[in-house]
Amino acid sequence: MGRNPLVMIIDEDPIFRQELQGMLTPARLAVVADCGYGVEAASLAEELKPDLILASIEEPVARAIQTIEAVRGIRPGAPVIAYSSSTELHLVRQAMHAGVRDLLAHPFKVGELLTAIEAVMRSASLPGEAAPQPQAAGTILTVFGAKGGIGKTTITTNIATAIARDTDSSVLVMDLDTRFGDVAIMLDIDPAVTVAEMAGQVATLDRASFKAALVEHESGVFVLPSPKHPNDWRQVQADDIKELARFASRMFDYVILDTPGAFNDVVGAALEVATQVLVVTSVDMASIKDTSFILDVLESEGFPDDRLFLTVNHPNGANTIRAADIERVLRKKVFWEIPHDAQMTMATQIGLPVVLARPKSRAASNLAGLAGKITGRDAPARESKGFLRRLIPAGSRN
């Protein structure tokens, strides 16, 4: 199983960094970090773990070389392609000694860059890691939880909308709620073909007919709704759901799977194919107890813990349980916390994600921050950080 290589750009010129990002987009290379020379580059490399570094070598050359060396120290397996307007021998030698794999003369053409990337990525196989492949599949994000009414569908539709709005990424939501598929209602769209019908044809499905079956929401998010009647799920094979999600992930950068508040074979399939799972819990005792149970079940089944991201939601205003207590009970760090916000309920009622209906609201900026954290593009929303800091005493999250 491969994934798209994550790219980091190091260049003092923010405008060229932007231009370079544009060159990489059609090749489905995700730029996770861009910055100038200096320590920020090293800390970003540590935090965001890029698979490939593109670095300019311009004056001050010593600082450029130092930066490349620092980043190489942190990500030794990630090849560095550098570019420079100078081709002087001493610079080429310095670049070579710093571990640069290829040096392009700046300015260069997109084709030259992509050829260089392909060449270095082909030979860059990190020990213990699968070599990333440029044409690999997108992220499959499963939004999962032990109960209904805890905000799974709200989170699904808002994250999808925020990713479509804030990035160039393509997004598909597949509604796998086998009981009450609410995605179509929450986005106020008219379902045409459903996920059940598509799953039935997955063996013979081609890209064009799949795309034609999808509904495009005004936000740019594509949707594959669930059947209106729960009985229509009866013929659906869990394996076909897995295959359908994987098929979709070869066409969309993000495939987001909404699930019911239950454990069944379709949910099992949604967990198995996921590259990341948001485990949603609300803060009432029953929800925390149920979440504890499903985390135990997943652990005993050998489900990789690093794919599970605990997301605490406050669908109700009144509660006294603190995030620190939740972490203690569930023995798992809280990845994200969503505050209670009446605007969220209001948005649900008018059939719009709150990130569109009330973009300035607390809930909207929080959910956009969550989407940013998932895509690795934005800093987490300031408000959410503060919110967590107030709830969790210092030192208790280690």
* Binding region for ligand ADP (CB under 6 A): 145, 148-154, 182, 261, 313-315, 338, 340-341, 344-345, 348, 363
Our CB check for ligand ADP shows the closer of 103 and 283 to be 283
Largest Cα span, the chain: 72
Our CB check for ligand ADP shows the closer of 17 and 340 to be 340
Per CB under 5 A, does 51 bind Mg ion? no
Residue keyed to tokens 């994987």: 246
Parallel, antiparallel, or unpaired for β 276-281 and 80-84? unpaired
Our CB check for ligand ADP shows the closer of 91 and 174 to be 174
**Alpha carbon distance, N-terminus to C-terminus of the chain:** 31
Least distance to Mg ion from the beta carbon of 382, Å?
Answer: 28
Q: What is the C-alpha radius of gyration for the chain, rounded to an integer number of angstroms?
A: 22
Which does residue 313 bind out of ligand ADP, Mg ion, none, counting CB within 5 to 8 angstroms by kind?
ligand ADP
Least distance to Mg ion from the beta carbon of 259, Å?
Answer: 8
Residue 277 CA to chain centroid, in angstroms? Answer: 10
Least distance to Mg ion from the beta carbon of 85, Å?
Answer: 54
Pairwise CA distance, residues 395 & 112, whole Å? 49
Least distance to Mg ion from the beta carbon of 236, Å?
Answer: 18
Our CB check for ligand ADP shows the closer of 179 and 246 to be 179
DSSP code per residue over 281-294: E-SSHHHHHHHHHH
Which does residue 150 bind out of ligand ADP, Mg ion, none, counting CB within 5 to 8 angstroms by kind?
ligand ADP
Our CB check for ligand ADP shows the closer of 332 and 340 to be 340
Nearest to 171 by CA among 207, 213, 221: 221
Which does residue 242 bind out of ligand ADP, Mg ion, none, counting CB within 5 to 8 angstroms by kind?
none
Both tokens assigned to 312: 């605490």
- Report the 10 Å Cβ neighbour count for 123: 9
Least distance to Mg ion from the beta carbon of 152, Å?
Answer: 5
Least distance to Mg ion from the beta carbon of 253, Å?
Answer: 23
Our CB check for ligand ADP shows the closer of 76 and 149 to be 149
Which does residue 340 bind out of ligand ADP, Mg ion, none, counting CB within 5 to 8 angstroms by kind?
ligand ADP
Least distance to ligand ADP from the beta carbon of 256, Å?
Answer: 13
Which does residue 175 bind out of Mg ion, ligand ADP, none, counting CB within 5 to 8 angstroms by kind?
none
- Restricted to residues 134-193, the positions that interact with Mg ion (CB under 5 A) are 152-153, 182
Parallel, antiparallel, or unpaired for β 334-338 and 308-313? parallel
Both tokens assigned to 190: 């008219």
Which residues partner with 35 through β-bridges?
10
Which does residue 154 bind out of ligand ADP, Mg ion, none, counting CB within 5 to 8 angstroms by kind?
ligand ADP
Least distance to ligand ADP from the beta carbon of 144, Å?
Answer: 10
Both tokens assigned to 272: 């198995």
From residue 7, give the alpha-carbon distance in Å to each of 48, 51, 53, 130: 10, 6, 6, 16
Residue number of the CB closest to Mg ion reads 153
Q: Which amino acid is at 87?
A: T
Give residues with Cβ within 8 angstroms of 364, minimum separation 6. Answer: 158, 343, 354, 355, 357, 358
Both tokens assigned to 202: 């997955």
Give contact residues for Mg ion (rule: CB under 5 A).
152-153, 182
